[in-house]
Amino acid sequence: MKSNKLILFTILAVFFASCDNQLEIDPKQREDATITLSTEEGVSNVLTGAYAIAADGDIYGGRILVAGDLMGQTGSTSTTDLRWRGTFADFRQMYNKSLVVSNGIVQQIWATNYEMINACNTVIENISKVADSEKQKTMIAEATFLKSLAYFDLVRFFAKPYEAGKANTQLGVVIRPKAISDFNSDLALERSTVDEVYAVVIAGLNKAYTDLPADNGFYANKYAAKALLARVYLQQSNYTAARDAANDVIENSGTALSPKYADAFNHDSNQIEDIFVIQITKQTGDNQANNHYASEDNGGRGGDIEIRTTYLNKFSDPNDDRRNFNYINPDNDRRLSSKFKSEFGDVGIIRLGEMYLIRSEANFQAGTAIGATPLEDINTLRTRANAANFESVTLAQILRERELELGMEGFRIHDIKRTKGSVTATLPWDSDRLVFPIPLRETDTNSKISQNEGY
């Protein structure tokens, strides 16, 4: 089922769109927005608008996943798993780790996430217009979930990594707790610390888990919040919390692994493995991950991102369905991922396969077997992929299984950072070059914000 994501332009004009933090609106537009936010229908439309912003191609409509993958590549044709073959200079900077402050895609990842945060704040601050108290609670929880999702990815891309056992006082991103309607006002604000941002994310997701229903159609439900919590806790190396959150989702969410690995991809309605999916429609645009990963025949640009033998060689079993889930584009002989073969297919953000990987790794690190042993969880995924089961499992094998199961889904740079790995010998996990710059447009208009080191 697809949602109707056509948004009232007056809402977007007044609350969510800005150019260099300035707005050009006429009195009629301002009046319309005021009237809109005085009604329950209007506030509901703003929440629908927040989901539509999430579906923007520059963030969860696809490109935030592409950014996560390209930042984790070596930039060398002989050692990289994925090679950038496209013409977008902004993505090539990510691939080569040569980012500049004017990078347009980095700017849009920053700005569009803050547009979504502002939409969510607007919903929360106007929730009194909604008559039913249960509907109020659900709408606040949905808005809080979306805000948490945005802050989590902002802090992972634009700040130095979270380190377990440390104070994490390094600068994170700007926290904006209130809706902005007047972009001509003084909006200058310094970035909060990484620890403070993570605290906001975790508190928000816990609230969303408490207040969201177990079934919420194609919108965020309580298990989407718990699954994202599992991801956040794993990024913090909080293994017991990550384990328990992932186990809750596996045991209680009602989801299940797709019978075949291929079944988890290329669909336009929620499938049994989906926990949180961004709905793409012809009104909201196309799937931008598909745009960069797919051939022209499959609605893409021909294969901006090519799979190299370096990645294929990581598979121990040549019969592994995940190894063979690709195809050769006959137009240019590039090997492309079969995960993206639908121009208007939905973008998977969280699926159950990730929860098995989190539970396995967290149980291994904690020396526990909550829900299953680490070996059992890994072999569950390998059995689904028709790969030979392991007789025993090491941490290195568990981490390798993440690369094989979740490849091309936006995880690579974040896993390198949290495991303190490296992209190359000269690019360790905490390198300045693996952190996005604060966009030039933001530093030009925010007099209090500090730029990242190296920019």
Could you please report the per-residue DSSP string of 338-381? TT---TT--EEEEEHHHHHHHHHHHHHHHT--SSS-HHHHHHHH
d(CA 397, CA 39): 54
pLDDT at residue 31, rounded to an integer: 40
Ordered by where they begin, the domains of the chain are 8-75+82-204+433-446 (1.25.40.390), 213-410 (1.25.40.390)
- In the predicted model, what is the mean pLDDT of residues 439-453? 97
Alpha helices in 159-215, H assignment, sequence order: 194-211
pLDDT beyond 80 at 337: yes
d(CA 305, CA 289): 10
pLDDT at residue 286, rounded to an integer: 81
3-state secondary structure of 434: helix
pLDDT beyond 60 at 6: no
The residues near 249 (Cβ < 8 Å, ≥ 6 apart) are: 223, 226, 227, 230, 255, 275, 352, 355
- The 10s digit of each residue's pLDDT in 286-310 is 899 999 999 999 999 999 999 999 9
- The 10s digit of each residue's pLDDT in 415-425 is 999 999 999 99
d(CA 266, CA 420): 33
- The 10s digit of each residue's pLDDT in 98-153 is 999 999 999 999 999 999 999 999 999 999 999 999 999 999 999 999 999 999 99
- Which band of pLDDT confidence, cut at 50, 70 and 90, is reported for residue 22? very low
The residues near 132 (Cβ < 8 Å, ≥ 6 apart) are: none
- In the predicted model, what is the mean pLDDT of residues 386-412? 98
pLDDT at residue 316, rounded to an integer: 96
Pick from 162, 44, 158: which is nearest to 111 by CA? 158
pLDDT at residue 23, rounded to an integer: 33
- The 10s digit of each residue's pLDDT in 42-74 is 999 999 999 999 999 999 999 999 999 999 999
pLDDT at residue 66, rounded to an integer: 98
d(CA 105, CA 88): 10
pLDDT at residue 13, rounded to an integer: 39
| Torsion, Cα of 165, 364, 388, 403 (10° steps) | -10
- Which band of pLDDT confidence, cut at 50, 70 and 90, is reported for residue 28? very low
- The 10s digit of each residue's pLDDT in 206-252 is 999 999 999 999 999 999 999 999 999 999 999 999 999 999 999 99
DSSP β-ladder status, 427-428 and 422-424: antiparallel
Average pLDDT of the chain is 92
What percentage of the chain reaches a pLDDT higher than 90?
A: 89
pLDDT at residue 30, rounded to an integer: 39
What percentage of the chain reaches a pLDDT higher than 70?
A: 92
Chain-centre distance of CA 175, in angstroms? Answer: 18
Instruction: Supply angle C-alpha 196, 61, 176, rounded to 5.
Output: 25
3-state secondary structure of 84: strand
pTM to 2 decimal places: 0.93
d(CA 365, CA 239): 7
- Which band of pLDDT confidence, cut at 50, 70 and 90, is reported for residue 346? very high
